[in-house]
Chains A and B, each alone.
Chain A
C-alpha cells in the first residue's frame, strides 16, 4: 500500500522541481542522494551503511521481479526493497557531481 502511494508521486517533490527517488534511477546510472524521507532511526541506520546526503549511489543488479535491488554506495553493495529505495530522494540530475 505504502509503496503505491509513493510511486504515484503523491508526496514527492516538495521543492517544486521534479525530484527522482532512488527507486526510479535506472540500473547503472549514478545519482546523488539529497535526503532520506524516513523516520530518524531508520534514516540513521541507512546513513551508517553509506546512504548519506551528497553520496553517489549506483543501482546494480536486482532479484527477479526488480526488487530488492543492489545499490553500490560508499565502497560497498547494499540491497534495499523498493519501498525503502523510493523514500531516498535524489538531487535533480544537473546537480550530480
Chain B
C-alpha cells in the first residue's frame, strides 16, 4: 500500500479521503462469469482512469477505476469508483477468485468499501448458463443492473430476448450492450447516475430465487427465466466452427501453432533487440552528457552509474514486455490462445503443467521478466505458480554473455560431431538442456509436493473467435507497462543503487576505492571460504554479487577487477580468467549461472505477480541452493580428473 502514493486512482481504493461531508465515494462492482466481457466493459467505463494491484495477500489482480459522471445529474458524485471483480460462475467461495468476489461483495475485503451497486454482466449468446449467476447476485439485495453483453452477436446470429420482460421477472433493470463496440454503454451510465443520486429503488424479483447450493435447480431456474423473457438462443457461430476446422486440424493445426510460437519467440528474441540496444545507447549517451555538465564527484558517479543506469536497467525491459503483450493480446482477444493451449496441453501435461504454460515458458528463453508477467493468462492458480517458479530456469538471453566468455576461455574449439558442431557449441547446447531439465524436474517436484493440487481438472473454455480491437490492445500494453514500471521497476532501481553503494564506498581520500577494497570487495573476500569448494575465488565472489543486478553484469565487473576490457569477446579478460581460475571452477561457474536466480528483475516481478515476498524468497533460496550444490559437484568431479 505504501507504494501507492504516486497514483491518483488508488487513493480512493485504499483509504477514501472524505472530500465533502456526506459525499462518500460511490462504489460500483462489476461481476460476471469468465468470458462475459467484464474487463472490456470496465475499460469502456473507465478508460485510462484505472489502476491495477493485487488484492491483499492473494495472486488475484484487483482493478479499480473511476467513471466520470455528468455533474448536473449527480451533484454529490462527480465520479463513481468501479471495482472489476474476477470472473466467477457462483459466489460459493471455493477458489481464490470466488473468495475475493465473495469478500468484496460482503464488504469484508480490507481497503475496499462494500459496493453500493452492482453491474452484473452476462453473455447473452449463452444466457441460459450465464443467468445462473443472477440468483446469488440478486439475493444480495443491492441495486443491480443486469447487462446482457454481446448484443450484436445475439442479433447477428438470430437470437432474441425481451429485456423488459426479463427486467420485470428479475426486479432489476436490464440493458442490452455491446462492450467491444460501445453500444448501449450510456444505459450503464444512466444506471450509475441513478444509484449514486440515490433515486434508484429496489424492486423485489417477481420470480422466486432458487436454493443456491443446488446447481441443477439453479440451471432450471435460469432456463425458466429465459423462457419467460422469450429468449431464443442464437445459431452456432459459423465462423468459429470454420476457423476451428483449420486451427484444430490434425495436421494444419500443429503447423500453424508452431509458426505462431516461432513468430512470438523470434519477435521477442530478435525483434526487441534493436529497440533495446537503442534504449541502452540513449541512456548511455545521456549519462555521458550528464557526466559532462557536472563536476567530477562521488555524487556524479552515484547519479550516472547508480541512478541513471538503474533507470536504464528498468526501461530496457519495456520493448520485450510490449512486444510479448502485443502478441498475447492479439492471441487472447482473438480466441486463438485457447486453441494454442489445447494443442500444447498434451506435451505440457507430461511435465505436470498445462497448455497455457507453453507460451510463457517459451518466452522465458528470451527473458523471464515478460514471461512471468505473461502467466496471467493461466487461470488455474497452482499451474500459474508452478510456471512462474520454473520460468527462470529457461536459458534467458542475459546468460549468453556469461556463457560466451567462460566457454571461449576454457573450452577448446575442437570438432565434436563433424566440422560444424564443435565442443564450444556442444557446451552451450548442454547448458540450454541443463536449464530445461532443471525446469521440468522442478515442475514435477512442485506438482508432487507443495503444489499438489486436489486434482483440479484441466478445463478450458473455447471462446468464439473475435477481432481484437486496437482499443483493448493498447489499453493492455499501457496497463502492463505501468504495472512493470511501478511495481518491479522501483525494486530494480533500488537494488542497482544499493549495488552502486557497495561497489563505490567507502570513499578513500575523496576517491571511490578500488573494487577490491569496496564493500562489495569486502563481501567478496568474506564469502570466499563458502565459495572456495566451488572453485571460485573472491573476485568471482564480487562478480556474483554484482550480477544480482542482472546476470551479464558479471562480465563488466570481472573486466574492472582484472583491469581488462569487460566484454564477452575480450581476449585479455579470457586470458586473465584462464590464469586465475581452474577448469573445474570455470565449468562450475557455468553450472552456477544455469541454475542460480541471479536476477533482481525476475525476483521483483515474481514478487509483484504472486503478491508478496514469500514465493520469490522460496524460489531464490531453492535456485541458489541447487546452483551451489551442482556447482560444487561439478568442481569436485572435474578436479578429480575423471574426464582427463
Q: A-side interface residues toward B, CB under 8 Å?
A: 38-39, 41-42, 44-50, 52-54, 60-65, 67-68, 70, 74-81, 83-84
Contact = CB atoms under 8 A, between A and B. Distances in A.
B457 A70 contact: no
Interface residues of B, number: 35
B380 to A, nearest CB: 11
A50 B233 CA distance: 15
Interface string B390-420: 0000000000000000000000000000000
Given A45-B457, A61-B248, A67-B345, 5 more contacts: A49-B89, A49-B459, A74-B129, A75-B233, A78-B459
A68 B456 contact: no
Interface in B431-474: 454-462
Nearest to A50: B129
Query: What 3 pairs across the A-B complex have the smallest Cβ distances?
Result: A48-B89, A77-B462, A79-B460
Contacts of A76: 126, 129, 461-462
A21 to B, nearest CB: 14
Contacts of A77: 461-462
A65 B251 CA distance: 11
Given A49-B89, A81-B345, A63 B126 contact: no
Contact of A63 (B125, B233, B343): B343
A19 B78 CA distance: 62
A76 B33 CA distance: 13
A68 B89 contact: no
Contacts, number: 101
Contacts of A41: 94, 454
A44 B457 contact: no
A63 B250 CA distance: 7
B242 to A, nearest CB: 12
A75 B125 contact: yes
Contacts of A48: 89-90, 132, 215
Given A41-B454, A42-B455, A64-B253, A78 B248 contact: no
A38 B343 CA distance: 25
Contacts of B355: 68
A66 to B, nearest CB: 9
B236 to A, nearest CB: 8
B346 A68 contact: yes
18 contacts: A44-B215, A46-B459, A47-B215, A48-B89, A48-B215, A52-B216, A63-B253, A63-B342, A64-B254, A65-B346, A67-B345, A68-B345, A68-B458, A70-B244, A76-B129, A78-B459, A79-B458, A84-B458
B129 A45 contact: no
Interface in B552-610: none
B349 interface: yes
Most chain B CB atoms below 10 A, which of A38, A64, A80, A84:
A64
B346 A64 contact: yes
B459 A45 contact: yes
Contacts of A39: 454-455
Given A63-B342, A75-B233, A78-B462, A46 B457 contact: yes
B541 interface: no
Contacts of B459: 45-46, 49, 78-80, 84
B128 interface: yes
B128 A61 contact: no
A75 B128 contact: yes
A39 B219 CA distance: 20
B136 to A, nearest CB: 12
Contacts of A68: 342, 345-346, 355, 458, 460
B215 A52 contact: yes
A50 to B, nearest CB: 5
B462 A70 contact: yes
B132 A80 contact: no
Given A63-B343, A63-B345, A78 B461 contact: yes
A52 B219 contact: yes
A81 B353 CA distance: 13
B139 interface: no
A25 B188 CA distance: 44
B216 A47 contact: yes
B105 to A, nearest CB: 18
Given A52-B219, A61-B244, A64-B250, A79 B454 contact: no
B285 interface: no
B457 A80 contact: yes
A61 B245 contact: yes
Contacts of B345: 63, 67-68, 79, 81
A63 B216 CA distance: 30
Contacts of B342: 63, 68, 70, 79
Contacts of A79: 338, 342, 345, 458-462
A88 B305 CA distance: 63
A41 B244 CA distance: 31
A83 B457 contact: yes
